[in-house]
Structure 1
């Protein structure tokens, strides 16, 4: 059987959230994960309207109990969002939650009168390589240079551009990587399991910081481990964590965010709306990953770049394949994705140098591209067998590798810090102090384009980035 990465990741995230029953949605497909038995509404009158409407609606459906409808969280958070319990999360299976679906339908008329959304699922927000993985990291020799390579720009504490990375934490030995000498932030909480094996997606934040520092050495990087728990967090908590990050460090010049979720909507994500509205009033530029579902469905918060009022505040980033000429097979796409950058087989720091650390692959590769592309994409190469893709009593032995510093990794997760770095580097080169103005100047001066799903799109290619062959390797290599 071919690997089922989305479902494999569902199991992985569910294990990281053992007390939060999850389902896949929407109800007729599997595009995102969400909390069972719970919906979100804005505090105050809207929350009360949602409670009353759902309770009244449920009296007309057999098997749906109005007594379940009650507040599941207090009205105390800065996001202004309340969790409302609408059903027993222990009922049903992971394929969907009819109770939540009924609750959403019950508010359609009221939403029409209000002219805006009043109710939402409580989605799982994840690093964009997690619920929809581009691939897993591949070790490369410590002697292989980063790609993109370090720009020839000196660090100057007085002019350094402030960049906040919201992701997993930093590996404990990250300072052994020279490009991260000026990086601060949170540690990865648990790097290895009890057997000394690297856990899935640790190093994600360190890899991103290394890319950003290579493209823009004159940056003061801060990495927060907001997404340390398997790279996933509930929407109801995510907005609050974003506020905590900027309250702790102040609003930076640039935020690099390689996380999000689709939600089947075109009007934003309810749980982060308060944060996004405050962002709009700041000078900060949010650079956000478009996601790895190979889909045109908006992925939030990146897709805010296409909503009125956020055009200058948010820059959504898709991934190009390793030669930079076309879109990567996994990259989300569409008019809401405003720019593309190299995001396939980039090279950066994963762990510190000098201490080899083992990693066991979680996902198996495919015999052919799972999205139907014909080039040598990361779906197929390099080949490996993973734990999660081989269920049963006698699974094939998973492949194990050793990391000694550098890795290659793919995803819109990594195209994003490349673009964030290019904005920061432009600010340094031009003496620009406004990151949103730098974004506009950078895109206006850009002359590079690539082809993505038949459309010609703007492509930002760092001067120090080296294209990588997309031809399949010779047999046996």
Structure 2
């Protein structure tokens, strides 16, 4: 059975014991059987964010691009690797597909994000067609967003919402972060999600905007504290689908990140030739860190959906003859419909019951 593929549309995935080696030279990279580092289209990478000339300026290698001479580490240095680690912890069997759309400063150009998503859709279509070297995508994680600055800005949302709709209609679950400003003001693409009533035991879609049996919903995730309360920083509104742990999470960080800020105390050891120090605040050679944000709540749900997809597909494979499965794969439309049904079932499982009304739910 094919492993689920989770596309992380972010800053890339750096070097780590879970994920192999990342370097600017593709010949020096490997994905440890988890990261699809060589995934690309015939005309170039899927993500359009340019690869830096120097490794120290790459968000997932050196992480120092905003202040190249003096540091400190960029605001989102290691962001993509941290997200990847959250998904990997929730679904170790998932393959991770890095799609680079942003660098260490943390500001993405909307047109470039849209183009990268269009290219991801092309990659997904080639995977569906069975082309060698390509994989169908199962889940997309979008831990970024923007607010409208003017009421008229709504008319400019269509290019982004359209490509996300294409992905969902092709059997891809889309998971977005709600935002970290403690706001009720809609943040996009999170606010493309349908309105949901979360007050009952089972979440209920109360406004079916942009969702149907053939188009699974965008899923928006807010953040929980370790004790289960809602994180103070987490945005909220009817467009937030669910909450997942997102405060003080522990996950992977590139082992290459080592910023210029040093320990506050460094003393010579009395009984060895070494030194004892306070913790280096910008040294991540150990490969792990704590971080907070809805950016990291979203991949929790993404990993849960990927895990649920494994169960859904295993159950279907046990029920249908192999010949029927092969026949469906020869029929492109039937294959996509099957993937959409699987995604809906995985979403329902991972969200504790989110679904359309019974009469409209895919059977």
Global fold match (TM > 0.5):
yes
CA distance 1:360–1:296, change in 2 (3 Å): farther
Measure the CA separation in 1 of the matches of 2:154 and 2:258: 43
Map 1:257-296; keep pairs closer than 5 Å: 257-263=142-148, 269-296=157-184
For 1:315, the equivalent position in structure 2 comes to: 219
Map 1:35-54; keep pairs closer than 5 Å: none
CA distance 1:400–1:327, change in 2 (3 Å): same
1:351 deviates by 1.4
Query: How big is the alpha-carbon RMSD for the aligned residues of Structure 1 and Structure 2?
Result: 3.1
Measure the CA separation in 2 of the matches of 1:360 and 1:249: 42
1:299 deviates by 1.1
User: Helix, strand or coil for the counterpart of 1:318?
Assistant: strand
Deviations 1:260-313 (A, max 9, x none): 112155958234133134234221110111111111111111111126123733
Greater helix fraction, Structure 1 or Structure 2: 2
1:201 deviates by 1.1
Map 1:15-54; keep pairs closer than 5 Å: none
Residue 423 of structure 1, aligned match among 297, 300, 305: 305
User: Helix, strand or coil for the counterpart of 2:14?
Assistant: coil
User: Helix, strand or coil for the counterpart of 1:278?
Assistant: helix
1:350 deviates by 0.7
CA distance 1:159–1:248, change in 2 (3 Å): closer
CA distance 1:180–1:213, change in 2 (3 Å): farther
For 1:402, the equivalent position in structure 2 comes to: 283
Deviations 1:444-468 (A, max 9, x none): 459xxxxxxxxxxxxxxxxxxxxxx
1:426 deviates by 1.4
Q: Is the 8 A contact 1:168 1:188 kept in 2?
A: no
For 1:74, the equivalent position in structure 2 comes to: none
User: Helix, strand or coil for the counterpart of 1:429?
Assistant: helix
1:416 deviates by 0.4
User: Helix, strand or coil for the counterpart of 1:347?
Assistant: strand
CA distance 1:219–1:280, change in 2 (3 Å): closer
Map 1:177-188; keep pairs closer than 5 Å: 181-185=33-37
Measure the CA separation in 2 of the matches of 1:276 and 1:218: 25
Measure the CA separation in 2 of the matches of 1:208 and 1:337: 19
| Aligned residues between the structures | 249
Gaps of 5+ in 2: 22-29, 39-49, 53-57, 126-135, 195-207, 263-279, 316-338, 355-363
Measure the CA separation in 2 of the matches of 1:435 and 1:162: 12
1:230 deviates by 2.5
CA distance 1:360–1:305, change in 2 (3 Å): farther
Measure the CA separation in 1 of the matches of 2:118 and 2:108: 14
For 2:344, the equivalent position in structure 1 comes to: 436
Gaps of 5+ in 1: 1-157, 362-398, 447-477
Larger radius of gyration: 1
Residue 259 of structure 2, aligned match among 358, 371, 377: 358
For 1:341, the equivalent position in structure 2 comes to: 244
Deviations 1:66-123 (A, max 9, x none): xxxxxxxxxxxxxxxxxxxxxxxxxxxxxxxxxxxxxxxxxxxxxxxxxxxxxxxxxx
Residue 113 of structure 2, aligned match among 222, 238, 244: 238
